Amino acid sequence: MCLFCDFVNGKRKRQENGLPFIVLHETPNTLSFLSMSFPEKEDAHVLVIPKNHFTYLEDVPKYIQHELIDHVVLIAKILRETHEGCNIFLNDGRTAGQTIFHVHYHIIPRDRKDKIRIEVWKRRRPTSAEFRKLNNFLKKKLNYFK
């Protein structure tokens, strides 16, 4: 029972607030559509999803990952024709803010004066030792997964 799967297979024709589900662009394995929620100062929020259900990004086969990124790039390029830039993000997991557990990229157009704050966190500067230790740990993990 996945909202996005219901959109893809035609079981749902409307979003949760009653707005219609309308495909913006479609490829063999992906599709994009306008989200029902726009940032207060902007005029769009586009979602790009794989047509098949995958909960997390690492579940998506590589050939579909490539198709997803190409699709995201196309949408970003179109939005930049009328905006100064855009935010592109993926909430991957509950603690990262994922609420619909079907992989989806958010593309939000941005303009200099929109005052949107996508995510703000307090920053800390790691010590040189912490930085090197984490870097070495991640390199070892990357070598393991190659």
Q: Is the pLDDT of residue 42 over 70?
A: no
Mean pLDDT of 27-46: 84
Domains and CATH numbers, the chain: 3-118 (3.30.428.10)
**What's the CA gap between 19 and 29, in Å, rounded?**
24
User: What's the predicted TM-score (pTM) here?
Assistant: 0.87
Give the dihedral sign, CA 82/87/88/90.
Answer: negative
pLDDT of residue 43: 76
pLDDT of residue 98: 94
Q: Is the pLDDT of residue 114 over 90?
A: no
pLDDT of residue 59: 97
Q: Are 50 and 38 in contact (CB under 8 A)?
A: no
- Percent of the chain past pLDDT 70, that is, above it, reads 96
Q: Is the pLDDT of residue 73 over 90?
A: yes
The torsion angles phi and psi of 55, rounded to 5 degrees, stand at -75, -45
User: Taking the mean position of all CA atoms in its chain, how far away is CA 92?
Assistant: 9
**What's the CA gap between 92 and 89, in Å, rounded?**
9
Contacts of 1 (CB under 8 A, 6+ apart): none
pLDDT of residue 35: 86
Count of CB atoms situated within 10 Å of the CB of 128:
8
Q: Are 89 and 105 in contact (CB under 8 A)?
A: yes
